[in-house]
Amino acid sequence: MDAAAALERLREISSQVRAAVIFERGGKIVGSTLGDEGRAKRVAAEAEALLDDAERRRSGADGAAEFAQLEVALRDGSVFVVRDGKRLIVATTAPEPTVGLVFYDLKSTLRELETKPEPAPRKRAPAKRKAPARTARAKKPKPDAKS
């Protein structure tokens, strides 16, 4: 499934998600519900900085640990960042969302991206009709033919 289709599906299944951007570390935008690509890039950059900061705090505590997901709850809404492999998704919601459900929907969206679309069944070429074999038939002698 491509990014646009995955994000469209996310909007269908989750009424809580207001906007979402799928990206890779380094600033590559994979897909976005925001019309403006510049805005999507800035959102991705802020999200990356956010999780870098979060990871630093954890690694400062006891060793390096791989980030999986985060939620920032604010009065005006929540911000979610979820990672699956090399891809990340950042999404915004209204205040006090159903946290577990939003995490699940975002993770599913990233996983759907990984699945390759099933190839369309190949049409079989119509079978060639075999031309009737030309065999030399021995002419039967006519029974009434006098030899």
Partner 1 sequence: MRSRNVLTGVLLGAGSVAGTLVFRRRLARRQERVDVYFGDGSMLSLAKPGEAEPLLRRARQILDLAG
- Closest CB to partner 1 among 22 and 43? 43
Q: Does 107 bind partner 1 (CB under 8 A)?
A: no
Q: Residue 70: CB partners within 8 Å, gap ≥ 6?
A: 50, 51, 54, 80, 81
Write out 23-60 in H/E/C secondary structure: EECCCEEEEECCCCHHHHHHHHHHHHHHHHHHHHHHHH
Q: Does 108 bind partner 1 (CB under 8 A)?
A: no
Q: Does 1 bind partner 1 (CB under 8 A)?
A: no
CB 103 within 8 A of CB 18: no
Q: Which of residues 10-69 bind partner 1 (CB under 8 A)?
A: 18-19, 21, 34, 39, 42-43, 46-47, 49-50, 53-54, 57-58, 61, 65-69
State which H helix or E strand residue 22 sits in: strand 17-24
Q: Residues interacting with partner 1, by CB under 8 A?
A: 18-19, 21, 34, 39, 42-43, 46-47, 49-50, 53-54, 57-58, 61, 65-77, 79, 90, 92, 96
